[in-house]
Structure 1
Amino acid sequence: MILILFRVLILIALVLLLYTWFQYILNPERRLRIAKAAKEFYFLDELDNSKKNVRFVYKGCLFEGEKYVGTTEDSFEVVDIHVKVDNPIELNGLTRDDLYFLESEILLRYPHAKIDWKHPINKLLITKID
């Protein structure tokens, strides 16, 4: 009897271990960290949840955007997104074209949104091109 109980406990432990491993592999936060380390583009967002912030990585820089819901002509949509960066040092090497790329990626997901870049990102967009 004890042997059967021990086997059942081992089987439960293995199932729990496999479940934990799958949750780790499929975790979007982990994928965000991997994309940041590899300096790739990765967009993390829940389109159906307007309360969760948008997070994305591009060229090793982590951006976070706060979504604000407003009205359009026929429905409630995300109409404002305020994008900031926590560590401005990570902006080193980003160009104006990179910001236009990021803006187009955001507008693909939220076509009614007005994107507001917070300091110091907005300084790059305001300066004149020589």
Structure 2
Amino acid sequence: MIVILFRVLIVLALALLIYTWIQYYRNPQRKLQIAKAEGTYYFLDEPGNSKKNLQFVYKGCLFEGEKYVGTTEDSFEVVNIHITAKDPLELSGLRRDDLYFLEEEILIRYPHAKIEWKHPINQLLLSSLN
């Protein structure tokens, strides 16, 4: 009887380890950190949840956007997104074209949104093209 109980406990422990490993592997925050370390683009968002901020990584810089819901002509949609950089020192190397690419990617997901870049990113958009 003790041998059978021990075998059941081992099977349950293995099942718990496999479940934990799968949850770790599928964690979106982990994917976000991997994209940041590799310098690739990754967009993390829950489109159905307007209260949860969107996060994305581009060229090793982590951005966070606050979504605000408002009215359009016929429905409630995300109409305003305020984007900040988590660490402004990571912005080095980003160009104006990169910001336009990011705006296009956001507008694909939220076509009614007005995107506002917060300091210091807005200074790049406001500066003249020399």
Interval containing the TM-score (normalised by the shorter chain): over 0.9
1:109 maps to amino acid:
R
Is 1:30 equivalent to 2:30 in the alignment? yes
Q: Deviation string for 1:3-52 (max 9, x for gaps)?
A: 00000000000000000000001000000000000000000000000000
**Partner in structure 1 of residue 97 of structure 2:** 97
Q: Percent identity?
A: 72
Offset, 1:86: 1.8
1:47 maps to amino acid:
P
1:99 maps to amino acid:
L
Is 1:2 equivalent to 2:18 in the alignment? no
Alignment of 1:54-93 (within 5 A): 54-93=54-93
Q: Deviation string for 1:49-101 (max 9, x for gaps)?
A: 00000000000000000000000000000000000012100000000000000
**Partner in structure 2 of residue 108 of structure 1:** 108
Q: TM-score, normalised by structure 1?
A: 0.99
Q: TM-score, normalised by structure 2?
A: 0.99
Is 1:12 equivalent to 2:12 in the alignment? yes
Tell me, in whole angstroms, the C-alpha distance in 1 between the residues paired with 2:70 and 2:109. 16
* Runs of 4+ that moved beyond 2 A: none
> Once superposed, what is the RMSD of the aligned Cα atoms?
0.3
**Structure 1 runs not aligned, ≥5 long:** none
Matched positions, count: 130
**Structure 2 runs not aligned, ≥5 long:** none
